[in-house]
Chains A and B, each alone.
Chain A
Amino acid sequence: MHAFRNLRNCTKDCLCLYVCPTGASDTENGQIDFKKCIACGLCVSACPSHAISMVPDTFAPQQRKADTMKQEMMKLIQNIAKQEAAAHELAKHSDDKVFAQVAAALEKSNRYMAEDLFREAGYMLPQSKNTHDFLRSLKTVTDGLFPMEAVDQLLTLLDQND
């Protein structure tokens, strides 16, 4: 666990500097020095603008999803992915600038919707077994251009929580 400063909320009242026993909150880049932070939580209670919170490093397993629910979510994700693909081409190839702009908005909109549906279909946490199974399945990709080192690094860096 370590403290994290939300820079959007930070109003530089500096109470965190006064209470921090290790100087972790006093940095030139505005973020807390995660390595120095000992997770005492003093800065979280002291901050008058509620800009600091504790980032946990262990997480509960996601609520279990029924198979029927997962299947229906996947059906929807598949369709929305097709919408994103169509919108992507329309954004690239529409002659009318406004039509292309709307297509670009639809491309993003469909991406965000499908991401959210994936979260509820069992892929909320990067630390979940589902995510690890997915990453392990990517080990079978044979394309030489595929960034396999990214898969290997993720499997090393992320603990599995369920």
Chain B
Amino acid sequence: MKKYVCTICGYIYDEAAGSPDQGIAANTKWEDLPEAWVCPICTAPKSMFNEVKEEIKEEAEEKEQKLEIKLNLSSLEMSILCSNLAKGCEKQVLTVEMALFQKLADYFKAHAGKTIDPQFETLRTLVNENLSDIYPIASQTAKELNDRGSLRALVWSEKVSRIQSSLLDRLLKEGSDFIEKTNVYVCEICGYIYVGDEVPEICPVCKVPGFKLHKIERGQ
């Protein structure tokens, strides 16, 4: 029996288990799945799946799934939650607690499931899907609830996503020449990416002073 992994969301189709929720019986071979069958998680078509080949990778996936079941968060999501809480401790000058949360964040990052064969194009698609499908609805909800905090985070993050999208567009269309002779900075508060020679005085998205934008070094 073989397994196939969705390259978009990481869902694994296991021939042995089938997909009962979709009416696919156990022991249904990949070849026997209808052509119109789609990933039950993200609705990607069959063509977006790859066969899972390595034993070790399977073990890692299984471990990751076990953690997910118990906590309902993926390993990487837990890493993000912990690094956020580390920053929360840092702001309160709780240095011991900060280091402990960072330790947890590092553990979860190291144990996160791997994206198989990632492409810049798929990354752009993900960003664009958020922009078209999620931000408008989430922002509307925040407005209706008069939740200014959520609206603030959504406005910043939507702007940063637009910048990510246009950066990826340009990179895929023109190649990397426009970055070759200049610098790349990332704002540690909102994630804004700036391409240019000198760091801006304040972040144009969240308005934090420029010293919170960090230069991303280029490998040798």
Q: Real complex partners, A and B?
A: yes
- Which residues of the other chain, B, contact A116 by a CB distance below 8 angstroms? 84, 153, 156-157, 189-191
Least CB separation from A100: chain B residue: B219
Q: In whole angstroms, what is the CA distance A122 to B134 when docked? A: 19
- Given A76-B134, A99-B171, A115-B84, CB of A120 within 8 Å of CB of B219: no
Among the 9-residue stretches A10-18, A22-30, A44-52, A84-92, the one with 4 or more Cβ atoms under 8 Å from chain B is: A84-92
B192 interface residue per 8 A CB criterion: yes
- Given A81-B76, A82-B126, CB of A109 within 8 Å of CB of B103: no
Q: In whole angstroms, what is the CA distance A83 to B123 when docked? A: 6
B52 interface residue per 8 A CB criterion: no
Q: In whole angstroms, what is the CA distance A103 to B135 when docked? A: 23
A117 interface residue per 8 A CB criterion: yes
14 pairs, CB–CB < 8 Å, chain A vs chain B: A65-B150, A76-B138, A83-B127, A84-B76, A86-B126, A99-B176, A102-B184, A105-B193, A114-B77, A119-B88, A126-B85, A137-B70, A146-B107, A157-B100
A27 to chain B, nearest CB (A): 14
Classify the interface of chain B: helix, strand, loop or mixed. Answer: helix
Least CB separation from B72: chain A residue: A137
Q: Which of B87, B115, B179 contacts A89 (CB 8 A)?
A: B115
User: What is the interface size of chain A, counting residues whose CB is below 8 A from a CB of the partner?
Assistant: 73
B76 to chain A, nearest CB (A): 5
Additional 10 contacts, C-beta under 8 A, given A81-B76, A108-B186: A4-B93, A8-B211, A69-B150, A98-B179, A100-B218, A101-B218, A109-B164, A112-B191, A113-B157, A137-B71
Q: In whole angstroms, what is the CA distance A119 to B152 when docked? A: 11
Classify the interface of chain A: helix, strand, loop or mixed. Answer: helix
A125 interface residue per 8 A CB criterion: yes
B61 interface residue per 8 A CB criterion: no
Among the 9-residue stretches B22-30, B31-39, B139-147, the one with 4 or more Cβ atoms under 8 Å from chain A is: B139-147
A44 to chain B, nearest CB (A): 15
- Which residues of the other chain, A, contact B83 by a CB distance below 8 angstroms? 111, 115
A162 interface residue per 8 A CB criterion: no
Q: In whole angstroms, what is the CA distance A77 to B177 when docked? A: 32
B124 to chain A, nearest CB (A): 10
B65-95 at interface with A (beta carbon < 8 Å) = 67, 70-71, 74, 76-77, 80-81, 83-85, 87-89, 92-94
Cβ-defined contact, B176 with A63, below 8 A? no
- Which residues of the other chain, A, contact B87 by a CB distance below 8 angstroms? 115
Least CB separation from A87: chain B residue: B123
- Given A101-B184, A112-B186, CB of A154 within 8 Å of CB of B107: no
B63 interface residue per 8 A CB criterion: yes
Q: In whole angstroms, what is the CA distance A112 to B186 when docked? A: 9
- Which residues of the other chain, A, contact B190 by a CB distance below 8 angstroms? 112-113, 116
